[in-house]
Chains A and B, each alone.
Chain A
Amino acid sequence: MSVMLTKFESKSNRVKGLAFHPTQPLLAAALHNGSIQLWNYRMGVLVDRFEEHEGPVRGVNFHPSRALLATGGDDYKIKVWDIRPQNRRCLFTLHGHLDFVRTVQFHHEMPWIISASDDQTIRIWNSTSRNCIAILTGHSHYVMSAYFHPKDDLVVSASVDQTVRVWDISGLRKGSPNTSTGPGNFESFDTFSTVKYILEGHDRGVNYAMFHPTLPLIVSAADDRTIKIWRMSETKAWEVDSCRGHFNNVSTALFHPKHELIVSCGEDKTVRVWDLAKRTAIQTFRRENDRFWVLASHPNLNLFAAGHDSGLIVFKLERERPAFAVHQDSLYYIRDKYVRSYDFNTGADLGLLSVRKFGSVYVPPRTLSFNPAERAVLVTISSDNGLYELTSLPQQAQGEMKDSSVDGKRGAGQSAIFVSRNRFAVLQKATQFIEIGDLANTVVKKIKPPVQTNEIFYGGTASLILSSTSTVVLYDIQQQKTLAEINSPPVKYVVWSNDGSLVALMSKHTITIANRTFTEHSLIHETIRIKSGAWDDSGVFIYSTLNHIKYCLPQGDHGVICTLDNPVYLTRVKGKTVHCLDRSGRPRTITFDPTEYRFKLALLKNNYEEMLYIIRTSTLLGQRFPEIALHFVQDTNTRFELALECGNLDVAMETAKTIDRPECWDRLAQQALKQGNHKIVEKAYQQTKNFDKLSFLYLATGSTDKLAKMQKIADARGDPMSRFHNALYAGDIEGRIAILREVGLNPLAYLTAKTSGLDDLALQILETVGMTEADVDDVPAFGTSILKPPPVINSTADQNWPVVSTGQNFFDQALANGSLETGIEPAYVNGDAAAGASSALDAWAKDEEVQDDLDPEEGGWELDADAGAAQVTEEVEEDATPDEDLPGSTPGISETEHWVRNSPLAPDHVAAGSFETAMQLLNRQLGIVNFVDLKPLFLSTYRSSHTYLTPVASLPPLQLHIRRNPTETSMSRTLPVVVRSLASVRTELGEGFRLVTGNKLAEARDVFRSVLRSLLLVPLASDDEARTWRELVTTSREYLLGVSIELERRRVAEEEPDNVSRNLELAAYFTECKLQPPQVLLALRSAITVFSKANNQFDAARYARRLLALNPDAKVVAMASFFFARQRIAAGERNPRNAVELSFDPYTPFEICGATFTPVYKGSPAAYCPYTNQAYLPEFKGKLDPLTQLSEIGAAASGLPAPW
């Protein structure tokens, strides 16, 4: 073991006793000066201090489950303390020992305390009754330690009389004999405890003895400088072996709680680690001046504390940080010297490789670097002065795990990482060289780093990050030059963001976030030690300290996400989940709420959409969100913007006051106006001195007194226009006249007075200008003016009412919009269809994805690879291996030629650019003759099947051919990429359905035609796909037919309104098209309406029954349709007649001719479209299919071959 990792150190008086708290990061230290210190060793803080003992304190122990501490000192006293901060005090003192108390310990389950004393006795106390319940006598000198067995009723003690004794205390548990016995009456209960074994072998006084936590072993430490291991059986105990090495008194020897190790310390100023099985020394930790007096181990963790002459240290024996590397969705890590893989998605955790034979058995590997291209790992270990090993991982977990020594390639080095697919770098710290090795472990290059390098990390391709004591350097290996350098404390870990654009350089107390060229960086300081970190998908760095998980935004803002009980090592952050390894190296996940930092990030980026999303999905925001949003925003401007967005006028008002700029007030006024909060509008207008608007606002709110005030203000401002305005608004006629007179517009003043019936005033005006009524009798007489402002019915001047609820804000609207985006469909205006039903119908239209309930006509789909296509393939002669013998400059066979050879399907030929063969195929297979409309499809398919790249300057770019099977190696099986897929066509078809429902039939017809064209260019790869393809063709055909019929019906209804029977026929045919339920419903309702209008009640009832038979589900639409249909059936029953005779027989099965829209009865001759299988009257054979306008009716066609 090459390192003893010191976690915490304190300086104090000599430390004689130590105890770890079982669950909290607390350590109690008993000092020679009589005080007891309570340290939080994780935070490095002195939590409390207890100072009631007189003289040195030696024994200290925590209660296993309660907040109690027991101490024993040279004042012969044992004290029990309540350590809760609010309650801290000495609960009671146990008196009885007659000399120094050396050790104290709580029993793990009984309310007992055991103490060892220089009075040669061991006492057991009941901490409830606070009485001594047993005194174990027998030692003939000071008893230096006494401890309970972790499970059995045994006690082990060590004494200066050179013996270790094991005591049986099972008698103690049975009765409680002490209840009646007063102090001093020892003899009566002496029988309950007997010496079981006396272990003799030490040549000097024994200082310490303890039981093994699980095995029947005892370890003892003595002044004879040895540590002895003893074994016990039911009947005897014997010495197993000794560990020699300490060259002075050994103070304490402990079993490691988890590993087969012994840890000891002594007055020779060393802490030593021993192998329990071999009894050999593994490691020695030496201190200059301080003798060690006591050692304690944490019950659960890999943590030890040692007390010495001038304080204490807390240390770990091995690194807990597991070596790991993350690649995509997998974590590769080492636990118990096995390389394992952990799948983040499935949680599958597999052992892949053993590295047990690599380096020292006691040392876990330090780092692991993973090479995905070679599936190799590079592991380093710190033992033997640093080693690395390069091994490949097996493809999957095998029965017997591979051992790395089989094919591992090793070497010396302190730090080793992959730098590319086939290179790795190794740091030789002593000589300061970086060696670049290849996969065969040969050094291909040696580099002298520009700074004293302690550790190397991956720095991007062909680059390294070098960590030195005060800087971190980005170094280009190929050019051997420094690219950038940042000052930083020694960097210990480096984490790259998922896209490689940012890197976090972590040292003990700082994180530097830099971009990949190190040109920009920011620094975060942490007082608590930083343990690990990982990047969130959104570019936020999540890191863990000893006791927190925290986040750090790119601009440096950071905060706490959650608190940790124990440190963890983050491996990945995905959404709300932190993946980490705990301190025993097991994968764990922690779920946290990223809302806070996401929200901050969104605010920083002014990304309202993201904020919206957070509000929508977050659990944190149970409250109203503006408070939260506003809470986060510090910046006043942003706050104002946000408040406006949220419609939170109060905050907006408050911030506007701070900002106090006209445009702010204007915007505030606008928003307030929208919400009807005229008080705020008023204030805003006042702020900007917007008198006109203010006046109008007062008019609108009926605030006459304010208008009067405005008049005065206008007067003061010397603005007669404004005064006039306000007088007009206020209905103040005298005021108006006065203004007019003042500004010298006497004629207007006169007329105003006159028309308002103020004759006296009118006269007065005349007088002032020196005229009489006679002078103005040529002025025409006007009637009395009734111009006045409307009376106030409800005064709202003092009320802010009605106000739009502030809930109506950006977010709510956006929320509403989000759900409406695809939702609003125009109503299907079909006769008197109840409008209420239409929106419900839309909901049905959305189910159009469910194609299963369609019953497409199956047939004409010949899947056998037949002659038509085979011919094509035969035409091209087969020469697949032409290359080798050709002279250098002879062109080879283009991939497109292979495509043509490999596929009998037109789409693949189109992609290959072989339009001629593609057309021939379509013609032969599906009878296509009219290609004009296919041109855009041909060109776009061809266009997307090839891409270009120029790797060498100034040469023409290479044409690269995109395959749909990129992993295919044989040229005879390569096929072009799928440019049009069934899924994309289906989406288009869905669009058509929506148009039908939305009553945009002409557009719908275009869409169905386009779908049928697109389907010609969909390459098929299986029977399933072929079946789906045929279903899509049939569905589109039926819709195309149906829509065409309905369009024709509307034309007839408009242009030949007298031709009622044709109108009815077409309506009837429309219902015969095999549409999906939502659209059938429409067809039926249309038919019912048309038929009942024509007074064909019988037929109308028939359709109504069919509609009911559709059995629409419990949806709202059912109610409307149901009601409507019932009505029609009832009408039909009352009047079972048809007013108009139809020229078709609805009771014989028929198909509808796609050209004439007339029936083609079963059994009568018909011609069919070779592509869609649409029926036509026989006379149309040889003509162009009018529906699709692609194929020749009745042409011979072979159908599509099956190339798969």
Chain B
Amino acid sequence: MSSSDLYNTKTAFFLSAYQTLINRALPDSSSPDYIPTLVYQARAHIALNDPAGAISLLPPNSENVALKAVSALARYVSATESSEQEPILEELRDLAVEIEGDDVEGTEHDKLTVRVIAGTAFARAGEIEEALETLGSETEDLEAVAVIVQIYLSINRPDRAKKEFERAKNWAEDDVLLQLIESSIGLVAARDGYSNANSFYTEQLANPSLSSTHILTARGVTRILRNEIPAAKSDLEESLERQKGGDAETLAACVVAAGIDAKKSNEADELWTRLSTEHPSHPLVVDVEQKSRLFDELCSNFPVPPLAVAA
């Protein structure tokens, strides 16, 4: 088992307690935990959509493959043009090949991290096949499995996701991440009325050594899926309150919950306005805007006759 600090760091990362993670002190640079902790902190910055923070954290000119990969991911996320992104993907491809050799700097764990990060970047770029290949079909790294599973879920292949999960269960029982994977699958495949995800998030909420608003949001989302709208709203509102602002995900879920069987239509609309101005790139915003354009186009399919009025 890895050391307690690293364990905490990992758990915090998996359960999306990014701010907690960032606020933790780095171990001594000679410690074996130093590189992994640094990588996780950098990844937490990236997850919080602050790639600059990640880059500033990383020591320049490090030869460590994991650090190089993370830095690439940070740059990839901050790049907006595909022309900027493509060379970074190339860089990651090279790294993924490099780690097959023996003469690179970094532990086995670092090499696995490279795969996970490269896979993440490829998946973001929509290169599904390449991502899956990089992560490896026989991998025994649970983080890689988490990425693989989510990729499968995002392309509506819960069957493959389940297979990966069953495979991972053989060697990684009891890991928090495995439970998270299971609950994600449950959310997409809607098994047992979402009870597994619900109890997983409820359990994690009761975990005294960690507190993450993401978990609260996740349970709120689960409760929406379970059609427990008032309970969902209370989770989401608490999450918003505790975040003192609200991330896109919580806000988006609030919009959704507020709209379901709403007594007051304006509540959802106010939230929506807030979401679409604060987080214009959230998939919900993008998607709905696209649907809005679609609607306008479709309207023209139906010619509107003149209004019937008394002569």
Say whether A373 contacts B199, CB under 8 Å. Answer: yes
- Chain A 949-983: CB-based contact to B (< 8 A → 1; otherwise 0): 11111111111101110111100001001111101
Checking A931, A944, A966 against B256 with a beta-carbon cut-off of 8 angstroms, the contacting residue is A944
Checking B44, B160, B305 against A1183 with a beta-carbon cut-off of 8 angstroms, the contacting residue is B305
- Chain A contacts for B152, CB-based, 8 A: 888
Checking A420, A479, A889 against B7 with a beta-carbon cut-off of 8 angstroms, the contacting residue is A479
- Chain A contacts for B47, CB-based, 8 A: 953-954
Contacts A500-B205, A889-B155, A1183-B306 known; A954 to B298 CB distance under 8 Å?
no
Shortest CB-to-CB span from B46 to chain A, Å, is: 5
Q: Verify if B24 is at the interface (C-beta below 8 Å from A).
A: no
In B217-252, the 8 Å CB interface with A consists of: 217-218, 221, 224-227, 249, 252
Q: Verify if A1107 is at the interface (C-beta below 8 Å from B).
A: no
- Chain B 146-182: CB-based contact to A (< 8 A → 1; otherwise 0): 1100111111111110000000000000101000110
Cα A481 to Cα B181 in complex, Å, equals: 25
Cα A555 to Cα B147 in complex, Å, equals: 46
Say whether B283 contacts A952, CB under 8 Å. Answer: no
Say whether A892 contacts B155, CB under 8 Å. Answer: yes
Cα A1157 to Cα B227 in complex, Å, equals: 45
Q: Verify if A483 is at the interface (C-beta below 8 Å from B).
A: yes
- Chain A 929-944: CB-based contact to B (< 8 A → 1; otherwise 0): 1111001001111111
Q: Verify if A187 is at the interface (C-beta below 8 Å from B).
A: no
Checking B288, B301, B307 against A942 with a beta-carbon cut-off of 8 angstroms, the contacting residue is B288
- Chain B contacts for A980, CB-based, 8 A: 261
User: Interface with A: B29-37, B100-108, B123-131, which one?
Assistant: B123-131
Say whether B259 contacts A931, CB under 8 Å. Answer: no
Shortest CB-to-CB span from A1028 to chain B, Å, is: 15
In A463-521, the 8 Å CB interface with B consists of: 463, 474, 476, 478-479, 481, 483-484, 500, 516-518
Q: Verify if A1126 is at the interface (C-beta below 8 Å from B).
A: no
Cα A611 to Cα B189 in complex, Å, equals: 47
Cα A1180 to Cα B310 in complex, Å, equals: 9
In A261-310, the 8 Å CB interface with B consists of: none
Say whether B260 contacts A944, CB under 8 Å. Answer: yes
- Chain A 1112-1156: CB-based contact to B (< 8 A → 1; otherwise 0): 000000000000000000000000000000000000000000111
Cα A954 to Cα B48 in complex, Å, equals: 8
Checking B43, B187, B192, B301 against A960 with a beta-carbon cut-off of 8 angstroms, the contacting residue is B187
Say whether B184 contacts A951, CB under 8 Å. Answer: yes
Shortest CB-to-CB span from A930 to chain B, Å, is: 5
Cα A981 to Cα B262 in complex, Å, equals: 9
User: Interface with B: A544-552, A864-872, A1185-1193, which one?
Assistant: A1185-1193
Q: Verify if B206 is at the interface (C-beta below 8 Å from A).
A: yes
Shortest CB-to-CB span from A1130 to chain B, Å, is: 38
Cα A981 to Cα B260 in complex, Å, equals: 9
- Chain B contacts for A960, CB-based, 8 A: 187-188, 221, 225
Say whether A916 contacts B156, CB under 8 Å. Answer: no
Say whether B193 contacts A967, CB under 8 Å. Answer: yes
Q: Verify if A1184 is at the interface (C-beta below 8 Å from B).
A: yes
Say whether A1155 contacts B310, CB under 8 Å. Answer: yes
Say whether A984 contacts B150, CB under 8 Å. Answer: no
Shortest CB-to-CB span from A380 to chain B, Å, is: 22
Checking B8, B46, B187 against A958 with a beta-carbon cut-off of 8 angstroms, the contacting residue is B187
Shortest CB-to-CB span from B241 to chain A, Å, is: 14
Cα A644 to Cα B146 in complex, Å, equals: 61
- Minimum CB distance partner of A940 in chain B: B259
Label chain A's interface by main secondary structure.
loop
- Chain B contacts for A981, CB-based, 8 A: 261
Say whether A948 contacts B206, CB under 8 Å. Answer: no
Q: Verify if B16 is at the interface (C-beta below 8 Å from A).
A: yes
Shortest CB-to-CB span from A887 to chain B, Å, is: 9
Checking B160, B174, B180, B184 against A888 with a beta-carbon cut-off of 8 angstroms, the contacting residue is B160
Contacts A892-B155, A929-B302, A987-B263 known; A951 to B180 CB distance under 8 Å?
yes
Say whether B204 contacts A1183, CB under 8 Å. Answer: no
In B56-74, the 8 Å CB interface with A consists of: 73
Shortest CB-to-CB span from A750 to chain B, Å, is: 69
Say whether A459 contacts B157, CB under 8 Å. Answer: no
Cα A945 to Cα B7 in complex, Å, equals: 37
- Chain A contacts for B176, CB-based, 8 A: 478
Say whether B302 contacts A1184, CB under 8 Å. Answer: no
Q: Verify if B25 is at the interface (C-beta below 8 Å from A).
A: no
- Minimum CB distance partner of B226 in chain A: A966
Cα A300 to Cα B289 in complex, Å, equals: 76
- Chain A contacts for B124, CB-based, 8 A: 954-956
- Minimum CB distance partner of B119 in chain A: A955
Shortest CB-to-CB span from B293 to chain A, Å, is: 11
- Chain A contacts for B206, CB-based, 8 A: 460-461, 500, 516
- Chain A contacts for B305, CB-based, 8 A: 929, 1182-1184, 1192
Of the listed residues B120, B132, B151, B224, the one surrounded by the most CB atoms of chain A closer than 10 A to its CB is B224
Q: Verify if A1078 is at the interface (C-beta below 8 Å from B).
A: no
Say whether B13 contacts A956, CB under 8 Å. Answer: no
Checking A484, A931, A940, A954 against B268 with a beta-carbon cut-off of 8 angstroms, the contacting residue is A940
Say whether A947 contacts B207, CB under 8 Å. Answer: no
Q: Verify if B77 is at the interface (C-beta below 8 Å from A).
A: yes
Q: Verify if B253 is at the interface (C-beta below 8 Å from A).
A: yes
- Minimum CB distance partner of A920 in chain B: B301
Q: Verify if A573 is at the interface (C-beta below 8 Å from B).
A: no
Of the listed residues A516, A923, A938, A940, the one surrounded by the most CB atoms of chain B closer than 10 A to its CB is A940
Say whether B46 contacts A953, CB under 8 Å. Answer: yes
- Minimum CB distance partner of A421 in chain B: B199
Checking A373, A518, A951, A966 against B227 with a beta-carbon cut-off of 8 angstroms, the contacting residue is A966
- Chain A contacts for B291, CB-based, 8 A: 913, 915, 938-939, 942
Cα A517 to Cα B303 in complex, Å, equals: 64
Cα A949 to Cα B288 in complex, Å, equals: 16
- Minimum CB distance partner of A500 in chain B: B206
Q: Verify if A919 is at the interface (C-beta below 8 Å from B).
A: yes
- Minimum CB distance partner of B176 in chain A: A478
- Chain A contacts for B194, CB-based, 8 A: 966
Say whether B261 contacts A984, CB under 8 Å. Answer: yes
Q: Verify if A895 is at the interface (C-beta below 8 Å from B).
A: yes
Shortest CB-to-CB span from B118 to chain A, Å, is: 12
Cα A1184 to Cα B302 in complex, Å, equals: 12
- Chain A contacts for B260, CB-based, 8 A: 944, 962, 977-979
- Chain A contacts for B304, CB-based, 8 A: 929-930, 932, 1184
Cα A479 to Cα B309 in complex, Å, equals: 77
Q: Verify if A597 is at the interface (C-beta below 8 Å from B).
A: no
Checking A954, A983, A1189 against B307 with a beta-carbon cut-off of 8 angstroms, the contacting residue is A1189
Say whether A957 contacts B283, CB under 8 Å. Answer: yes
Cα A888 to Cα B130 in complex, Å, equals: 11
- Chain B contacts for A968, CB-based, 8 A: 190
Say whether B155 contacts A1184, CB under 8 Å. Answer: no
- Chain A 411-423: CB-based contact to B (< 8 A → 1; otherwise 0): 0000000001101
Say whether B308 contacts A954, CB under 8 Å. Answer: no
- Chain A contacts for B199, CB-based, 8 A: 373, 421
Q: Verify if B109 is at the interface (C-beta below 8 Å from A).
A: no
- Chain A 382-405: CB-based contact to B (< 8 A → 1; otherwise 0): 000000000000000000000000
Say whether B292 contacts A947, CB under 8 Å. Answer: no
- Chain B contacts for A959, CB-based, 8 A: 154, 283, 287
Say whether B256 contacts A943, CB under 8 Å. Answer: yes
Cα A516 to Cα B193 in complex, Å, equals: 29
Shortest CB-to-CB span from B35 to chain A, Å, is: 18
Of the listed residues B73, B221, B263, the one surrounded by the most CB atoms of chain A closer than 10 A to its CB is B221
- Chain A contacts for B8, CB-based, 8 A: 479
13 interchain pairs, CB-CB under 8 A? A373-B195, A461-B207, A888-B137, A891-B157, A935-B299, A948-B221, A948-B249, A951-B218, A952-B147, A952-B150, A955-B147, A958-B188, A966-B227
List the 5 closest pairs (A to B, CB-CB), nearest first. A944-B259, A1183-B308, A892-B156, A953-B47, A891-B155
Instruction: Taking A462-B203, A944-B255 as given, write out 13 further A-B residue pairs in contact, using a Cβ cutoff of 8 Å, ordered by the A residue number.
Output: A420-B203, A460-B207, A461-B203, A476-B208, A478-B176, A883-B159, A889-B132, A915-B298, A919-B301, A954-B120, A960-B188, A1184-B306, A1186-B309
